[in-house]
Structures are given as C-alpha cells and as structure tokens.
Amino acid sequence: MATQHHKTSGPIDLIKLDRLAEVAVKVGLNLTAGQDLFLTAPVAALPLVRRIAEHAYRAGAGLVTPILSDDEVTLARYRFGQDDSFDRAPDWLYEGVARAFGGNTARLAIVGENPMLLSKEDPAKVARANKANSIAYKPALEKIAGFDINWNIVAYPTPAWAGQMFPGEQEHDAVAKLAEAIFAASRVDTDDPVAAWAAHNAELRSRTEWLNGQRFHALHYTGPGTDLTIGLADGHEWQGGASTAKNGIICNPNIPTEEVFTTPHAQRVEGRVAATKPLSYQGTLIEDIAVRFEEGRIVEAKATRGQEVLNKVLDTDEGARRLGEVALVPHSSPISKSGLLFFNTLFDENAASHIALGQCFAKCFVDGARLTPEQIAAQGGNKSLIHIDWMIGSDSIDIDGVRADGSRVAVFRQGEWA
C-alpha cells in the first residue's frame, strides 16, 4: 500500500484516488518487477500520474516515463498552426514508443480531456490531423491491438470534462460528481477494490466461457430501428475482464469494464442498426446514427447531428466501414444505471452493447497470439487505422445466437442476459 493520502476539502476524495492508482497498477497493468511503464495523461491529471508512479515503483517498475498533454497547446495548433502541419504527426515519437513496446514496456493511458475541445475547430483539419496521427501511430498501435504487452486505460475527473458533463454546476461540484462517478464505475469506492475486481473478473469469465461453449456462427439483433445479423469471425474467441497478453501477463486493459466482446467477420454483416446513445468523437457529438450493412460494409449512414464528421470517419480507409468488434453489455450495468452520458467511450461503451468500426483485436481468436496478420484477415478479422465504438444496446434490444445449422439460442432479452 502506498503512503496514506488523506481526504482534503477539495472536490476529489484522495483516498479513493489512491485506490484508483493502486488498481491501475495491480489490476489494470499487473505490472511486473523490472518492467518499464510508458504513461500518457492530460496535465490536469497530474495528481493521479504521481500516485500511479508511486505505486508502479513500489511494485518494482524499472522506469516510469510520463508524457502530458494540454488543452491550450492543442488549441494553439488549430488556431495558429501552418496548414500543411495537419498532414503530419511526430512519427519519431511513435517509432520510439513502438520500440519500447517491443522491449516489453507496459502502456497506461489516463483519459480526462475536454470531449468538446475541438468542437469549434475546422472539422477538415481535425480529420486530417487524426488520419496523420493514426498513420504515424500504427507501428505502436499494432502492439496494442495484437495484445503484445499489458496495457490499461483509466480516467481522471478534470474540470474541463466535468464542466461538459454537468453544465451549470460550480466547478467544485461538477468535479466532485464526476470523481464519484469514476470511482464507483472503477470499483474503488470499496475498502478492498482489488478483491472487488477479482470477483467482477470471475463473473465476466463465466459469461465468456458460456459464449465460447456455444460456438455461435452469428448474432441477430432486433429492436427499434434495428434488424442486424453480425456474422462472427472463424475461430473467434470471446474475451472479457482480465486476460493474458502475449508477454504472459494477466491484465485488465479497461477500467472500468462491463463488456464481453469478440471479433465479427468483416464480410458477414447484414441489415440495419440504430445507435442508442450519441457518439462523442474528437469534439463532435454524433447523434442518432443509423446505418445499413451489405456484405459486411456500411453502404448507407445517417446522423441527425455530426453527419459530416461521421462521413469522414467512414472514409478513413477501406476497413473503416466494416466492424472490428462486437460487445455485449447488459442494460443494468452500473454505468447504465448512473444515467450519465460521459462523452467518453471508456465509460459510455460500458453502458450498452456496442459495435466498433475498424481494427479488430488479435486476442479475440483461438490461439490469436500465434496467428499472423494474414491468417487473421483470412478468418474474417478487419484491418483499419481506426477503432471507434458506438452503442446499439438498450432495454428494447433482443439478441439471438445463431448456430451454423440455423438453430437459435436466446442471448439477450430486453437488454438483459437471457
């Protein structure tokens, strides 16, 4: 246990913040002695960065290397940067990060940026910058998507994020509300959060074992605006909660997490589906997404808000119109019960069943660690520069598992496990 941090009169309970740092290191990363850690965070999250560094070094970390981002620096680029700079990214940095991952450095990201930071900036510049960044980051992202190393994402309640979630509230009150929501969802509002995570991981494991035993060929979704059949990749494997990276370390990549997920077949998705929650993407809130798939590809896409941004996302590359993930989350999940829209995928995806456009995860295949990219593609895995989750579950959605012989098994009824 780290040095005791006492609660202050500020908006964030420092005891719970210290528990979150402990969970990030011991449960999220399961950091091993001698292992280096690469950490990114908004500068406003420095209190959590410091606690994570302390817990990491106490766990025997080699070197902890943080890189901090700042909203004002980001905005300065969009307002004063040269136009051609939006087609570039610091590839030298990402090449170094990829090399670090190749040397078994663990990865931790603290999120908390203002989700609407770029909402008033030129969407064409935002799209160009995102594409350039995705291309430059690809060597490092492949190590994450391939689950080569133990990695983790946690959140910190920054004032900018809290202000978006609780408009009209005083900053102190908004931060306090967001902090408690993060702590509850991350299961650190208990005296023994490590034990709480062990129990939660066991429950998720029981779901994945049942689904893997069924060997479904496809999932069929029905509900308002939705009649969708998602074929599952050949040799797919359901995952959820703690899982083993290729370096042999058991970790929890996302804190919080309520999902069990696997790889859809990129060529075998048919029908229409309507989003049940808005998608917050790079400063734009995309609302009421409705798409139609043919032979795995989105051929029609509409949104009542954010249509231009949605179109740019879908045109990122060939794989951007195909699915890389399908995930099941009950409507009764703690994040759904909170009734909050976090404007952050780490949380919002755990409020509802969802699908993800773009890149698939190698670990969601039987013996995925041994498969080459070519074998993954041959079994139906999608490849793309993006991986964007959006929510399609609600208390009005039914899901059937469809076997290869056409027989059906109820999986979800009215948004709950059947």
One pLDDT digit (tens) per residue for the chain, 418 residues: 444 444 554 899 999 999 999 999 999 999 999 999 999 999 999 999 999 999 999 999 999 999 999 999 999 999 999 999 999 999 999 999 999 999 999 999 999 999 999 988 998 999 899 989 999 999 999 999 889 999 999 999 999 999 999 999 999 999 999 999 999 999 999 999 999 999 999 999 999 999 999 999 999 999 999 999 999 999 999 999 999 999 999 999 999 999 999 999 999 999 999 999 999 887 788 999 999 999 999 999 999 999 999 999 999 999 999 999 999 999 999 999 999 999 998 999 999 999 999 999 988 999 988 899 999 999 999 999 999 999 999 999 999 999 999 999 999 999 999 9
Handedness of CA 390, 393, 397, 399 (dihedral sign): positive
Helix (H) or strand (E) segment spanning residue 346: helix 345-348
Q: Are residues 138 and 256 in the same domain?
A: no
If asked whether residues 222 and 79 sit together in one domain, one would say: no
pLDDT for residue 284: 84
pLDDT in the model for residue 7: 53
Residue 286 falls inside a structural domain: yes
Q: Which residues of 302-322 are buried (b: 16+ CB within 10 A; e: fewer)?
A: ebeebbebbebbbebbebbbb
Task: Give the Cα separation of 273 and 300 in Å (integer).
Answer: 11
DSSP string for 287-322: BS-EEEEETTEEEEEE-SB-HHHHHHHHTSSGGGGS
Tokens of 62: 């080699």
Structural domain ending residue among the three candidates 166, 185, 204: 185
Could you tell me if 132 and 216 lie in one domain? no
Cα separation, 134 vs 317, whole angstroms: 11
Residues 279 and 396 in one domain: yes
Give me the half-sphere count of Cα atoms (radius 13 Å) on the Cβ side of residue 404.
5
Is position 7 within any domain?
A: no
Asked if residue 378 is part of any domain, the answer here is: yes
> Which residue range forms the structural domain that includes residue 78?
14-185
Choose the final residue of a domain: 185, 220, 242: 185
| Contact yes or no for 145/362 (Cβ under 8 A) | yes
> How many structural domains does the chain have?
2
pTM of structure: 0.88
Do 265 and 307 fall into the same domain?
yes
Q: Which of 153, 185, 217 is the last residue of a domain?
A: 185
Q: What is the helix (H) or strand (E) element at residue 97, kind and residue range?
A: helix 91-102
Maximum alpha-carbon separation in the chain: 62
Q: Which two three-digit tokens encode residue 189? A: 């509002």
The type of residue at 352 is: A
Residues 44 and 155 sit within 8 Å (Cβ to Cβ): no
Burial (CB < 10 A; 0-12, 13-18, 19+), residue 49, is buried
Residue 235 makes CB contacts below 8 A (sequence gap 6+) with: 365, 366, 367, 379
| pLDDT (0 to 100) of residue 17 | 98
Same domain, 179 and 200: no
Q: Computed over its alpha carbons, how large is the radius of gyration of the chain? A: 21
Task: Kindly give, in sequence order, each residue whose CB lies less than 8 Å from that of residue 238, ignoring residues fewer than 6 positions away.
Answer: 207, 208, 211, 212, 260, 261, 262, 364
Neighbours of 9 (CB within 10 A): 5
pLDDT at 285: 87
| 121 located within any domain | yes
Q: What are the strands, taking DSSP E only, across 208-318?
A: 218-223, 226-232, 243-244, 250-251, 260-262, 264-274, 279-281, 284-286, 290-294, 297-302
Rounded CA-CA distance 262/205 in Å is 13
Distance CA 418, CA 398 (A): 9
Asked whether the beta carbons of 376 and 359 are under 8 A apart, the reply is: no
According to DSSP, the β-strands at 408-413 and 416-417 are: antiparallel
pLDDT value of residue 158: 97
Q: Are 275 and 214 in a shared domain?
A: yes
Confirm whether 6 is domain-assigned: no
**Unique residue bearing structure tokens 């309640």:** 157
Q: Cα–Cα distance between 27 and 35 in angstroms, integer?
A: 15
Residue 303 lies in a domain: yes
Do 157 and 12 meet the contact criterion of CB atoms below 8 Å apart? yes
**Do residues 278 and 412 both lie within one domain?**
yes
Dihedral, 350, 355, 360, 366 alpha carbons, nearest 10: 80
Same domain, 146 and 162: yes
170 and 232 inside one domain: no
| Sequence-distant (≥ 6) Cβ neighbours of residue 194 within 8 angstroms | 22, 23, 26, 27
**Quick check: is 2 in a domain?**
no
The helix/strand/coil state of 389 is strand
Q: Which residues contact 294 (CB under 8 A, 6 or more apart)?
A: 270
Residues 272 and 292 in one domain: yes
Based on the fold, state whether residues 232 and 118 are members of the same structural domain: no
Look at the alpha carbons of 166, 168, 171, 173 in this order and tell me if their dihedral is positive or negative: negative
Identify the CATH number of the domain in which residue 134 sits: 3.40.1830.10
Compute the distance between CA of residue 133 and CA of residue 151 in angstroms, rounded to an integer: 20
- Residue 409 forms part of a structural domain: yes
